[in-house]
Amino acid sequence: MERGSTIIVYDSANSQALEAYKEVSSFLTVRGFEVDGRDSKSCGATPLPEDAVFAVSLGGDGTFLCCARLLASRPIPILPVHMGTFGFITEVTQEEWTEALGTWLDGGLDVEHRTILNVNVLRQGETVFQRKAVNDAVVSASGISKMVRLAMRLGGCEAGRFRGDGMILATATGSTAYSMAAGGPIIVPPMRALVLTPICPFSLAWRPMVLPEGDGIGIRVEGGQRADVMLTVDGQESFLLREDDEVVMEGLASGVRIIKSDRRVFYEVVRSKLGWSGGPHA
């Protein structure tokens, strides 16, 4: 592999991640790489080095999401190492990082290209908020058990009016997160599809729908809301919406690139961590 800078994003609140950051930094420095270490809570504070060739995230899925959004404008491969409590996206464990990183540098691991979301909020025709989402974007009430009123557009067509707790648009990566908990299907990465999942709809007619990644999705906040309406990106960033604001979203192919473990596959992770196949822990 060509030498250059390696971005390491770590969870500073996790003592194991801090210790692993020191070890990974030393491992890469010895092999001729420049190390650019960043705390996950402020990883976007400085520009990326021009010669960045790959990245490592040390923490849970939240740390990986921060790292992936940081690199969304210039997606380089990311090796996610699990240091968290659950770790669904982060397949490589803290005991495996040395072997995994060495195998990657020797050209022995594959890179999986995944779709992300481009999220824009339009207010009177102007963009007032823009983010990339790796998992999902959620439009919902900011309070508990509050119903929102939304007007939907799918692929440029009017798709009806929604009443309920909110709406989730998830990528294949995010289909195993909030969307799944709300009753949405699991999409196997790297399928280039999105899933639109209603949250507690006030009608039996609304059901989850799988969409092509290129179809535009528009969610407009109708008037007469009885609660504040919030847009939340990846469960980490929020933006307060106003009446008549429209959240416009579409999928972006290859927005994140994940270095895959050679020890397990997606179906095994679904079975072992989500109990998909049944058994005593399901």
Q: What angle do helix axes 97-105 and 15-30 make, rounded to 10 degrees?
A: 30
Residue 20 has φ and ψ, to the nearest 5°, of -65, -35
Q: Are 219 and 199 in contact (CB under 8 A)?
A: no
As given in the structure block, the two tokens for residue 232 are 């939340």
Count the Cβ atoms, other than its own, within 10 Å of residue 170.
28
In Å, what is the CA distance from 32 to each residue of 4, 11, 60, 98? 8, 24, 27, 16
- Alpha carbons 129 and 281: distance in angstroms, whole number: 42
Positions marked catalytic: 61
- Alpha carbons 188 and 268: distance in angstroms, whole number: 12
H runs (alpha helix) in the chain:
15-30, 61-70, 97-105, 178-181, 266-274
In Å, what is the CA distance from 189 to each residue of 73, 145, 169, 240? 20, 32, 16, 31
In Å, what is the CA distance from 247 to each residue of 112, 118, 141, 169, 272? 28, 10, 14, 11, 36
**Dihedral (CA of 170, 171, 175, 178) sign:** negative
